[in-house]
Each structure stands twice: as structure tokens, then as C-alpha cells.
Amino acid sequence: MRNSVVALAAIGTVVAFSANAQSYPEQPIEVIVPYAAGGGTDLSMRVMAETLQKKIPGATVVIRNVPGGGGGIGTGEALKATPDGYTLGTGAQGPIALLPHYGATTYNIDDVDFLALMARNLQVVLACKDAPFTKVEEFLAYAKENPGMILIGNSGSGGANHLSVEAFGRASGTAFENVPFSGASEALTNCAGGHIDAVTATPAEARAHIESGAVTPLFVMEAERIAEFPDVPTAVESGVDFTWSSWKGIIAPKGLPEDVRTTLTAALKETFEDPEFIARMKEMGEFVDYRDSDGYAELARADSKMAEGVIRELGMYGMNK
């Protein structure tokens, strides 16, 4: 009799589990964006939400902006949420792979369930007005002959553009004088004015300045040339084994029910491979690069490891604890 009761209880659990799987979602799915409304990440995530809800029957996907702390506040809130599939997060490179090393977060990379990578923001290094180089070979030669003399702008101290240049210096055996600005626009304006020698930016940020002839693209931080600038070489072509890009995807707190997780990862794959979604993202200057959970986690952990080395070298590790 006792065995029969146990068996019936087990069957009841399975039935309830199946019912939950079929009923998800029973309420809106919220995606936290850890930046202010109106920015590039926010706008791209709104396009994602519109597409994702079409891929999950009966779903409503909403965006909630939780800015502050360089993205750490919203990311932390997403990772502390109940792991039921109703609160997801925007998994951006800065808050996940960089900020924890500064001691500025309530979480670390091991708290993240990486569901799917959505896109990457590629990086291009540009020569500024009156710079003593216009080609990547000249840039590298000048840097080696004049260590620490090239003034290279970035969109903020300790951010992705700053660390990418520091990491590139380690890979190429060169050193630069990094000049932080309050954002990419200010950095590019100073580059076009000849106040610095070089700058790092995304293709979308740099396009207008390149087309006007105010700046000259030197190389992209990719393994292969990119469609936007097919004539611009990669660092790899110049003998420097280095790539770097910023990225974003969808994350969740660990502990999602497996059936819910399966539903979400399948729907995200469909979303990020949807031709209309890709076209809309391209119009916004976004480079869609879908990777599954394992691929996303591998990229994030590799960047985190590289960033940790650079941050320690700069003496900035744990500075915000």
C-alpha cells in the first residue's frame, strides 16, 4: 500500500511538472536592461522583445530599465530575481566580464545563466587628424619606436574600449597613453580635431567621421575583415593574434526549471536567427551574432579572464570594494 502511495505521489509530481511546462508563460516575461531608455542597448532589446514574444505562444515580453553603476545595478537585480523564467536580464560585457573585477558588483560571473548571445559591438581603431600614421603597419612601427607616446582615446577609463587597447598592447608588445572621454562622441570629436593620435570606437559610431575623411580606419579587432569596412585589415593580418568586441545577450538567474529554460533558449535561437530581426538590427548598426548557451558562456569567461589580467596589471583590481 505504501509503495502505491509513493508511486501515485511521483506520478502527481510528473503531471504537475508537465502542466507547468505547458502553461508557461502565465504572466509577462520581463527583461531588465541595466541602462537608461533610449540608448543603443535599450533600443536593440526592445526590438528583441517584440520578436521574442512572437516565438513563445501567448507570451508578452516587456522591457524594464534599471540604470546605474555602469550596468551593475540592473544586472545584479536580474541575477537576484526568482529563477522562474519571468525575470531575465540583458547580459552585457561590461557588467559581467569587467565590473566584478573592480569589486563593484553584488554578483560574479558564476552567478550567471547564459541563455543566448544576441549581438556584438565590433571595435575599429582609427587614426586621427595629423597623426603620424595612416596604416596599421605604420601605427605598430611608431608605437614600438615611441612607447607610450601615442595618445589613444576611449569612451571612459576602465571601460571596454580602454581595456581593449591595454590588452592589444600586451598582445603586440606596445604601450599607449590612454585618454578617457565621457563617451564615444566626445572621443571621436577630439580625434577629428587632431587633439589625440588615435581612438577606438564601434563601426556605427565611427562611420560618419570616416565618410567625411576626418579620421582614417587602421584596423578592426576581429579575426576576419568586416562587411562595413572590407578594405580595412584586421590586427591578425598584421601579425597580432588579438580580437575584441563588446557583446550582449540574454541571461537569467541560475536555477530555472529545465522545461522553462528549454522553452526560452529555443525561442531565443529562433529570434536571433529571424531574418526580419537581423535586418532591423542591421539598420541600427548592430552586428547580430547568435551563440547558444555554451558558446555565450565561453566568450564571456574568456573576456573575463583577459580583463582580469589587464585590470590587475593596471592596479585597479578590487578598487571599488
The domain that contains 21 carries what CATH number?
Answer: 3.40.190.150
Domain closes at, from 215, 238, 261: 238
Give the domain-ending residue among 203, 218, 238.
Answer: 238
Return the C-alpha cell found at 98: 569587467
In a shared domain, residues 157 and 169: yes
Task: Find all residues with CB under 8 Å of 189, minimum gap 6, and list them.
Answer: none
Q: How many domains does the chain have?
A: 2
pTM summary value: 0.86
Residues of the chain under the 50 pLDDT cut:
1-21
| Residue 320 belongs to some domain of the structure | no
Q: Where does a domain end: 217, 238, 259? A: 238
CATH number of the domain where residue 184 is located: 3.40.190.10
Residues 81 and 105 in one domain: yes
Shared domain check, 299 and 220: no
Domain enclosing residue 18, as ranges: 2-120+246-313
Residues 77, 173 share a domain: no
Cell numbers at 97, concatenated? 566580464
**pLDDT tens, residue by residue, 28-72:** 999 999 999 998 899 999 999 999 999 999 999 999 999 999 999
pLDDT at 10: 43
